[in-house]
Amino acid sequence: MKLDTQDVLRYYSKFRSVYKAVRRSINSPRLQLFLSEFIQPGDLVFDVGANVGNYVMVFLKLGARVVAIEPQTDCLKLLVSRFGKDHRVSIESAALGETRGEGLLYLSDVRTPISSMSRDWIEAVKTSGRFRHFEWRKSQAVSVGCLDNLIEEYGIPSFCKIDVEGYECQVLKGLNFPVEKLSFEYHIECLSELESCLNRLAELGTYAFNYTIGEGAHFRSSGWLNSKNLLQIFRGFSIGTLQGDIYAIRDKRSLNV
């Protein structure tokens, strides 16, 4: 049997998923400790781009109530299977953007976590070499909501995680309530997207920032930063395929400027 590139990538991704699941299980206590700085028992958490619910599980272990937002059909089935009977979890079958409507989600041929609504992001990660052999040949029409709508229904979250592969700023544009603590994913290939996210948050309030690299459960800066200093650090990175998460808190006193 002759395998094409996508078949090879699928087999590799299955192996990688098992490896990451084992590593995630080992690192779970460390991640819980890290996120406990942001989440307390009884807090409301929004998980935007919940995928199959790995972070939902961590949030639940911290005692949170969780709204899991995910548009992909296969991922939704797993979310319902894992958390459908848990009264602490509400599952929203939707993508998020600036306004309510309809959208198009480009589905990865290989990994559900890298499906995206951003063609610019897909082009950037292919061009950089991160996912140069990957394809997004299928798409799915999805219902699009916004954070403001979810806040009207569930209340203002204590923490909001946003992981939507290059569509983070569109999600933030749908937020007009100041959220005290949040995180959003970054990709070095898309620094303009990161800058847009920071500018959008500046319209909502004064935030301090820190960041992780990859799935590391520790901050890379010894102190909290303003957006100018954060961007200066990121523009100095020599590796063009880094990714991780930016964490933001509304607390002027924690700024390291």
| DSSP state string for 131-161 | TTT----EEEEEEEE-HHHHHHHH---SEEE
Q: Where in the chain are the domains?
A: 35-207
Residue 27 pLDDT: 66
Tokens for 247, please give them: 């964490």
Tokens for 144, please give them: 């699009």
Among 100, 176, 79, residue whose Cα is nearest residue 142 = 100
Please compute the mean of the pLDDT values over residues 84-113 and round it to a whole number.
Answer: 96
Among 38, 96, 93, 95, residue whose Cα is nearest residue 64 = 38
Please compute the mean of the pLDDT values over residues 86-91 and round it to a whole number.
Answer: 98
Q: Encode pLDDT of 168-194 as tens digits.
A: 999 999 999 889 999 999 999 999 999
Class at the top of the CATH hierarchy for domain 35-207 = alpha beta
pTM for the model stands at 0.89
**Other CB atoms within 10 Å distance of the CB of residue 223:** 12
Q: Encode pLDDT of 15-28 as tens digits.
A: 454 445 545 555 68
Write phi, then psi, for 139 (nearest 5 degrees).
-140, 160
Residue 198 pLDDT: 98
